[in-house]
Amino acid sequence: MAKDRKVNGDRRRLAILEKLKKAKGPITGNELARQMEVSRQVIVSDVTLLKAVNEPILATSQGYLFMPSAPAAKISRTIVCRHTPEQSEQEMLMIVHEGASIKNVSIEHPVYGDLTASMMIHNAHDVRNFLEKIQHTDASFLSELTDGVHLHEIEADNESILQSVEHKLYQAGILVKD
C-alpha cells in the first residue's frame, strides 16, 4: 500500500512538472490540485519535493512557474521605493507601462532581516491580479511593515527602459534617491 502511494506520488510529481513546463504562464496550486484530484496541500508538498531535487520551479503570487536557466537576455536593477499602500497600483503600472517587469519586492525587517517575495509582474493584467489577491485575502503589502520603504528588482530588455522607469517613479515621488 505505501509503495503504491509512492508510485502515485512520483507519477503525480512528474505530471505536475510536465504541466508547468508546457504552461505559457503561472498555474495556481488550486488549479493543479483540481487537475490532479488532490488537495492543494498535496500540491504544495509535491512542489517542495520537486524543488528539493533542484527543479527550477518558482512560486509567485500568480502561481507556480517552471523557470529553466537560460542566458540572461534582460538586464535588471534594484530600485528603492517609498509610497503608501494606495499608491501601489500606480507604482506597479508605471513600471510595466514603461516595458519593465517587477521580479520581486524586498524589505529590511527589524527582526527577520531581509525578506524577499517573488512577484513576476510583467503587465497591467498581472498588476490587477496581484491587487485582487491582496484585496480578497485581506493581506498587507510588505512595505506596510517598513513605513512604505521597499526594494524592487526590475528587469527590462535594455538600459533606456530602466532609466525611463526610474525617471517616472522619481517624478511621481516614489523612487528614493540618496
| Predicted confidence (pLDDT) per residue in 28-65, tens digit | 999 999 999 999 999 999 999 999 888 999 888 889 99
Q: 0.85 exceeded by the pTM?
A: no
Instruction: Give the start-end residues of each E strand in the chain.
Output: 57-60, 63-66, 75-82, 101-109, 113-121, 149-156
| Predicted confidence (pLDDT) per residue in 150-163, tens digit | 999 999 999 999 99
Domains, the chain, ranges and CATH? 2-66 (1.10.10.10), 75-171 (3.30.1340.20)
| Predicted confidence (pLDDT) per residue in 62-115, tens digit | 899 998 876 557 899 999 999 999 999 999 999 999 999 999 999 998 898 999
Q: Is 54 left (phi over 0), alpha (psi -120 to 50) or beta?
A: left
Which of 173, 26, 159, 174 lies closest to 100, judged by CA? 159
172: helix, coil or strand?
Answer: coil
C-alpha cell at 141: 503589502
